[in-house]
Amino acid sequence: MCRLCNMKRRHFGQALLGLGAGMAIARPLTAEALPAHPLPLVMLDPGHGGHDPGAMAPDGTEEKTITLSSAFALRRALLATGRYRVAMTRTHDQFIALEQRVAIAVGAKADLFISMHCDHLPEADLRGASIFTLSSDASDSLAASIASDENQADSFAGPNMPGVSPQVASVLASLETRATRISSANFAHDIRNSFKGTVPLLPDPLRSANFAVLRDPSVPSNLLEMGCLTNPLDEKLLRSPAHRREMAARLTAAIDLYFDQHAPPSSPHKAKPHKTSWRTS
């Protein structure tokens, strides 16, 4: 991509970020240099931040801290492959409204969007990761409850801060392509299969609900609940740098497989499939 084109894309993204007066402005963190033929851009979205701590463990561990540390671990793992550019919706303890997170992905023209979170469930014995895709109707009551909690993030913005705009809210009624939905579902399966045997999974980990942060119709998007802060075993893992590195390695493997085999057919980054695959239904 030419340097001028890349500058125009950045200016467009910054214009979108300025939509909410008084909101924190976040510029995506990109790889240091762009190749002559652009690599796919993976957008990482560490949930919560700033005055929105997210879920909190009984001992005070905050979701916003875990999500940011995990996103940095994944960023390092992805850049180490040499296959991707990586951007983040936030890079420090900063509040970013849900609509802004979507706008950042749109402005950057991301090829894949991963929103990273931690669960806070009513039963302390429930543990494990779960992977969500967008749906107007929740797959089950637990998914509906989790989506409701995550969509409350903008309540921290205060009464004078805009929530999800009518344009973004209407996306469910007019998703841009069927390929986007299929690709999101395929990527969710890739994450689930990559985690098996390494990262604990919630029973029935593939779920769907109406998450505001997944409403960009042009970018395959998933919301990953990395574990439950209400479970002592999960909290211990989530606080462990070694576990976060392992989870980043498994996510990187899932992302590799996604771009090798399951990216939208029209994607310029669609790679030829390998002869073998460990993906199962």
CATH number, domain 3-29+40-262? 3.40.630.40
Task: Answer whether residue 238 shows pLDDT above 90.
Answer: yes
| Mean pLDDT (the chain, rounded) | 76
- Domain residues of the chain, as ranges? 3-29+40-262
Taking residues 185-194, report their average pLDDT. Answer: 95
* pLDDT reported for residue 276: 33
Global pTM value:
0.73
Q: Give 212-227 pLDDT, tens digit per residue.
A: 656 666 788 999 999 9
* pLDDT reported for residue 23: 39
Q: How far is residue 107's CA from residue 255's CA, in Å, rounded to a whole number? A: 21
Task: Answer whether residue 10 shows pLDDT above 80.
Answer: no
N-terminal to C-terminal alpha carbon distance within the chain: 37
